[in-house]
Structure 1
Amino acid sequence: MVPAAMTGLSMTDNKNRAPICLRTPKLCLWNREVVFLGTGYARQQPHRTTQERLTLCLNGTFTVRGRNSQPIQTRSCLTPSGVWLDHTVLDTRQAVVAIFFLPPLSQDYAVLGSLMREATPGVFYEHPDEDALIREALRIRNAPDVSAPAARQRLRNLLLPRSLRNAVLQDFDPRIVRTAQRIRESLRTPWSLDEMAQGVHLSGSRLEKLFKQQVGLPITQYRVRYRVFIGTILMALGHSMTDAAMYAGFSNSAHLSRCYRSINGLTPSAMFLQPPFLRPLIDESAFELVAPLLGRQVAV
């Protein structure tokens, strides 16, 4: 058995008092992507993904389901949007993980999928440079003074090979890109499906079908995912769940909590209000997303 001091896991003292965290988990936030760098065994509950993600095993082991339901032990797993993620698909219960939430409507998932081995349709494993990527993720998690821009550059340098960073392996319909942009730019405006469809000269049913094909989830879920993302930035800045819910367009904090759990597999209280308390690294580009909502400039 590996000692807890070597794994970076949380533990209790000999009187079973509050958990002692040997390392601090980090949440890195940019304007289109998020990276979580954990310190303890994964606590996520089964949920449907709303963003393409790369999961890395920083310590311990995890398995991904292969064809014929055969378990594959690996240290990296790529999953698409819209997949039901539970322990039969990806079992991280005995792993300390890093999760890269990849930018929506980007080439990242297609490029990574071309480099990794397919476990089941849409799910891939074994990043070609996973050892170096894991080492860098651990360095960033453990460093006391790394900045968000530096963390992103260091991770992106290893995420995709230089030769494929400008590759275009997946074509996105410009009407879908415009619809997604409109949702992001009008966070608290409840545009109807027909109104959004008229803006890109499509019928509502055609827009809904194209959007789900290209993004992996319905328009309504994409809107909720983006609101949860904005709420996450606000809570990372120190705003209460009540204020974060109001600014992000939720009816109340309970509504935000339910949506957060359905998207991330745990509640915002478990992420932000329970030990081991995470340390956020917030890039200026993420500050710029929430500044207009707060009605003022946010100092970096």
Structure 2
Amino acid sequence: MSSKPQRYQGDYVAWTGGCMFIGSGGGPVAPHAHYAIQLVIGAPSGLQVQSGHRGQLMPCQGALVPSRAVHSIDVSSCDWTAVVFIEPETQAGRALSARMGGQVELLGDEALASVPNQLEQAWRMTRTVEAVQDVAQALVSSLSRTVPHVPSDPRVLMAIEHLRAHRGEAPSLEELAAVVHLSASRFRHVFVEQTGMPLRTYQLWRRLLKAWEILMEGDNLANAAHAAGFADSAHLSRTCRTMFGLAPSAMQMKGPLSERLRAPSSYLG
């Protein structure tokens, strides 16, 4: 087992409707709740999860935590951990919510199988965002029994491209509907159908993704917040706490992915 840093440090990987923190270090986390559904893995062992304010810490390899459920985790004895957050309004999020029935679910070998080994290989050896992303999304799909859905309606794709072109801004529902020549009500329906979440939630995910991408590149919190359209670093931190239960300052971007991202192009080969 490799030596762990005392402070949690690692990498951030995101996709539409979900994201993941993967790293080493850290210890007990006080009981808290947040908006996103949480899937946590502790490897190779040592994870403990508590349900509620006064529940007992239970050893497990992984756990699923419902949206807004009070819980605590202790990763002191783990070599590394992966914490996946799933937007509750996505197809996978709704399926996981139904599976859990409002209760924390502990996961063992039968549910996780070889995923921890695959994830560690993708993170520490392959060292690409895409490889880590593939393993994480496959696990979410397996647990939720859903298939990852990529928007295919050209009107929604056009709207998403418009959002990307105006990064840092927040076009209204009416503005985007006009861009794709639909009424606001019809566009709202098509957008949710294609992406699995309302426009405002999708915009927030995109802004958070952008902020963490900038932090992965080594920039500071203030610049990341400004570039992603947050009022300031405090606004970004508050939003992260609400969505994920932690602020960006709680994690040092010093994992294999961020190190490779910052390396000279000659190293990247």
TM range (shorter): 0.5 to 0.7
Q: CA deviation at 1:153?
A: 7.6
1:197 is aligned, of 173, 177, 186, to 177
Q: Which residue of 2 aligns with 1:134?
A: 116
Equivalent-residue separation in structure 2 for 1:154 and 1:189 (angstroms): 29
1:262 aligns with 2:242: yes
User: What's the C-alpha RMSD, in Å, of the aligned pairs?
Assistant: 5.1
Match of 1:86 in 2: 70
Map of 2:200 onto structure 1: 220
**Equivalent position SS for 1:84:** coil
Whichever residue aligns with residue 10 of structure 2, its letter is K
Higher mean alpha-carbon deviation, 171-180 vs 234-243, is at 171-180
> Relative to 1, partners in 2 of residues 1:171 and 1:278: Cα closer, same or farther, differing over 3 Å?
closer
Q: Which of 98, 102, 112 matches 2:82?
A: 98
Q: 1:63 to 1:150 in 2, by over 3 A?
A: same
Matched-pair contact (CA < 8 Å) for 1:55–1:77: yes
Counterpart of 1:47 in 2: which secondary structure? coil
1:56 alignment partner, SS class: strand
Matched AA of 1:252: D
User: Which of the numbers 40, 43, 64 marks the counterpart of 1:55?
Assistant: 40
Shift of 1:267: 1.5
In the aligned structure 2, how far is the partner of 1:46 from the partner of 1:37? 21
CA-CA distance at 1:232 after TM superposition: 0.8
Match of residue 33, structure 2, among 26, 34, 46: 46
CA 1:121–1:169: 2 relative to 1, 3 Å: farther
Q: Is the CA contact 1:118–1:124 (under 8 Å) kept in the aligned structure 2?
A: no
Would you say 1:120 and 2:101 are equivalent positions?
yes
Contact 1:78/1:125 (<8 A) preserved: yes
Say if 1:133 and 1:158, in contact at 8 Å, map to a contact too: no
- Distance, in Å, in 2 between the alignment partners of 1:185 and 1:105 is 25
Structure 1 pair 254/138, CA: closer, same or farther in 2 (3 Å)?
A: same
SS in 1 for 2:202: helix
The one-letter amino acid paired with 1:46 is: A
Aligned mates of 2:33, 2:171 — CA distance in 1:
30
Task: Name the CA distance, whole Å, in 2 between partners of 1:103 and 1:119.
Answer: 15
Verify: 1:183 aligned to 2:163, yes or no. yes
Shift of 1:231: 0.9
CA contact (8 A) 1:47 1:265 kept: yes
Alignment gaps of 5+ in structure 2: none
Amino acid at match of 1:134: P
Find out whether 1:155 has 2:130 as its counterpart: no
Q: Which piece of structure 1 moves more, 39-48 or 205-214?
A: 205-214
Is 128-137 or 174-183 further displaced after alignment?
A: 174-183
Structure 2 Cα separation of the partners of residues 153 and 194 of structure 1? 33
Show CA shifts across 1:272-295 (max 9, x none): 3xxxx64251499x99xxxxxxxx
Q: Deviations over 1:178-204 (max 9, x none)?
A: 655543443223311222233452435
Q: Given the superposition, is the C-alpha separation of residues 271 and 110 from structure 1 closer, same or farther in structure 2, using an over 3 Å criterion?
A: closer
Q: TM-score, normalised by structure 2?
A: 0.64
Write the letter of the residue equivalent to 1:234: I
- Residue 137 of structure 1 and its aligned partner are, at CA, apart by 3.9
AA aligned to 2:73 is: T
1:28 deviation in Å? 4.5
In the aligned structure 2, how far is the partner of 1:211 from the partner of 1:112?
16
Q: Is the 8 A contact 2:191 2:199 kept in 1?
A: no
In the alignment, structure 1 segments of 5+ residues that lack a partner are 1-5, 11-18, 288-296
Between the two proteins, what is the percent identity of the paired residues? 20
Q: Number of residues paired by the alignment? A: 251
Q: CA deviation at 1:213?
A: 10
Answer yes or no: is 1:75 the counterpart of 2:61. yes
- Give the letter aligned to residue 229 of structure 2: G
1:279 aligns with 2:255: yes
